[in-house]
């Protein structure tokens, strides 16, 4: 349960104001079809995070629990710093108008997630926890929880978000989680 809840909350918070959340907003405004967009986000995130989780779990099997906690802790602190940087959507990557909302979202989200902080978090969490399905399920649900309101509420929602405060809050949360994992790594009993 800890792995699922930590995976869900980590990604849901990391996603606030992220470029993929901005992408969800643009797709929702362009296509005005929330269900196909949400389905595209689900499929793209599931595929992307499954690959990231598999890599993280495979690499994690070579590390001791203490070293693993230290690595996850350092990566969470790096995410704390990364969360302070505001993302902006590159307008030049406009999807062709003839593509379906689902197909456009599927491709755009899969590509946008490559190297994103939520993908890195998924790798780190999969390395730290032995149940890959629980981690990927948690990170995928976290992505949907963060992007669902944006898809359904569109532009009215985006103009009212205190993005700077959200970035600071996410950064503080990741800093706390990083400190917790580092503490666990330093105090781990063999």
Our CA angle for 142, 148, 153, nearest 5°, is 150
- SS3 state at 159: coil
Identify the pLDDT of residue 92.
46
Query: What count of other Cβ atoms lies within 10 Å of the Cβ of residue 48?
Result: 24
Model confidence pLDDT, tens digit, residues 22-77: 788 878 877 888 999 999 999 999 999 999 999 999 887 777 778 777 877 787 78
How far is the C-alpha of 176 from the C-alpha of 103, rounded, in Å?
Answer: 38
Identify the pLDDT of residue 167.
66
- pLDDT tens digits in sequence order for the chain, 190 residues long: 889 999 999 899 888 877 788 788 878 877 888 999 999 999 999 999 999 999 999 887 777 778 777 877 787 787 678 767 655 544 444 444 446 899 989 998 888 888 788 888 899 899 989 899 999 999 999 999 999 998 988 755 555 656 677 667 767 877 887 888 789 888 865 5
Reference 102, options 151, 173, 136; nearest CA is 151
């Amino acid at each position: 349960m800890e792995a699922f809840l930590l995976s869900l909350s980590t990604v849901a918070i990391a996603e606030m104001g992220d470029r993929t959340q901005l992408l969800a907003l643009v797709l929702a405004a362009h296509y005005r079809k929330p269900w196909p967009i949400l389905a595209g986000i689900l499929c793209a995130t599931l595929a992307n995070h499954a690959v990231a989780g598999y890599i993280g779990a495979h690499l994690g099997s070579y590390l001791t629990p203490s070293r693993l906690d230290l690595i996850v802790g350092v990566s969470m602190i790096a995410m704390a710093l990364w969360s302070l940087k505001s993302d902006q959507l590159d307008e030049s990557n406009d999807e062709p108008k003839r593509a379906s909302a689902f197909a456009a979202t599927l491709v755009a989200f899969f590509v946008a997630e490559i190297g994103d902080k939520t993908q890195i978090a998924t790798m780190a969490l999969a390395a730290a926890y032995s149940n890959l399905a629980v981690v990927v399920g948690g990170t995928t649900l976290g992505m949907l929880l963060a992007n669902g309101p944006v898809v359904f509420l569109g532009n009215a929602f985006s103009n009212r978000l205190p993005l700077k405060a959200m970035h600071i809050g996410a950064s503080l949360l990741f800093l706390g989680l990083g400190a917790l994992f580092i503490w666990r790594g330093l105090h781990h009993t063999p």
